[in-house]
Amino acid sequence: MIGDKREQGVPMMQELAARGWVCVAINYRLSPKATWPDHVVDCKLALAWVREHIADYGGDPSFLAVSGGSAGGHLSALVALTPNEPEWQPGFEDADTSVDACIPFYGVHDVTGDPESSGIHGPGLVDLLQRRVMKITVEEDRNSFERASPDRRVSETAPPMYVIQGANDTLVPTQVARRFVERLGAVSGAPVAYLELPCAQHAFDILLSIRSRHTCLGAVRFLEGIRQRSSP
C-alpha cells in the first residue's frame, strides 16, 4: 500500500553493481487503488521485460534473481514460487517468468490468518488485507488467500532461496519466516538458507549500518555462489 522503488534495497544493489551485476528496481500498483493480484501481475510483467531487454543494459538474461523487503519480500517469494502461471500473466502468458534465486527480506509469507504462521500477527493484518488489498474475506474466498501465500506455494522445483528475518521485527514475527523456511526446506530440491538477525527490526536494511552492510554482503555471496553453481 505504500513505498517506492527508490526506498529499499539500495545498499544491496550498490554492492551488486560494484561487483558487475546489473540491478533493476521496480514499482508496482499500490492498494487500495489496486486490487490483488494486480501487484504480483506487475512484478511478473517487470520480470518478463527484464528477461527480454536486460542484455541491452549489459545484463545476463540467463540468470535472474529477485529480492524485496516486507511486501516486496512477500511478492519476490511468490514470484519465485509461481513461474509461468497464466492467471497472473494476462496478455503475456507465454513469457518466461522463472527465476534462478530469491532473497526475501522479512516478507509476509502467509496471508490466510493461519494461527500456526501468520495468525500470530493478530486479526489486524488479515482485516487490513481483506479491506484494502484483496477486497474479499477469507471466508468468501480462502483459495485466493492461500494462493497468495508463499508458504502454501512451496514445491520441489523452488529456486534457491535465502530468507532473511529480524528477530525483533514487530510487523512480521519470526515465526512467519521460520514456518516458511521449514515448509520450503521440506520439499525443495534447491538450497534453502535462513538468517535470523538478533535485535533487528522491520526494514533494518534501508539505512546503511554495520548490520545492513554485512547482511548485504552475505546476500551477495549467496547470489554469487548460486550463479557459480549453475554455470556450465
CA–CA gap between residue 85 and residue 99 (Å, rounded)? 13
Confidence (pLDDT) at 121: 58
Return the closest-CA partner of residue 179 out of 150, 157, 207: 150
Domains in the chain, CATH or no CATH each: 10-110+148-230 (3.40.50.1820)
Q: Identify the burial level of 12 via C-beta atoms within 10 angstroms of its C-beta, where 0-12 means exposed, 13-18 middle and 19 or more buried.
A: buried
SS3 sequence of the chain: CCCCCCCCCHHHHHHHHHCCCCCCCCCCCCCCCCCCCHHHHHHHHHHHHHHHHHHHHCCCCCCCEEEEECHHHHHHHHHHHCCCCHHHCCCCCCCCCCCCEEEEECCCCCCCCCCCCHHHHCHHHHHHHHHHHHCCCCCCCHHHHHHCCHHHCCCCCCCCEEEEEECCCCCCCHHHHHHHHHHHHHHCCCCEEEEEECCCCCCCCCCCCHHHHHHHHHHHHHHHHHHHHHCC
Supply the pLDDT for residue 7. 86
- Strand arrangement of the beta sheet that strand 101-105 belongs to: 65-69, 101-105, 161-166, 192-197
Show the cell assigned to 29: 500498483
Rounded Cα distance, 34 and 28, in Å: 9
Residue 191: the pLDDT is 97
pLDDT along the chain (232 residues), means of 10: 90 94 98 98 98 98 97 97 97 98 96 69 78 95 96 97 95 92 97 97 89 94 94 73
How high is the pLDDT of residue 120? 54
Q: Which residues are catalytic?
A: 70, 169, 202
**What pLDDT score does 117 carry?**
58
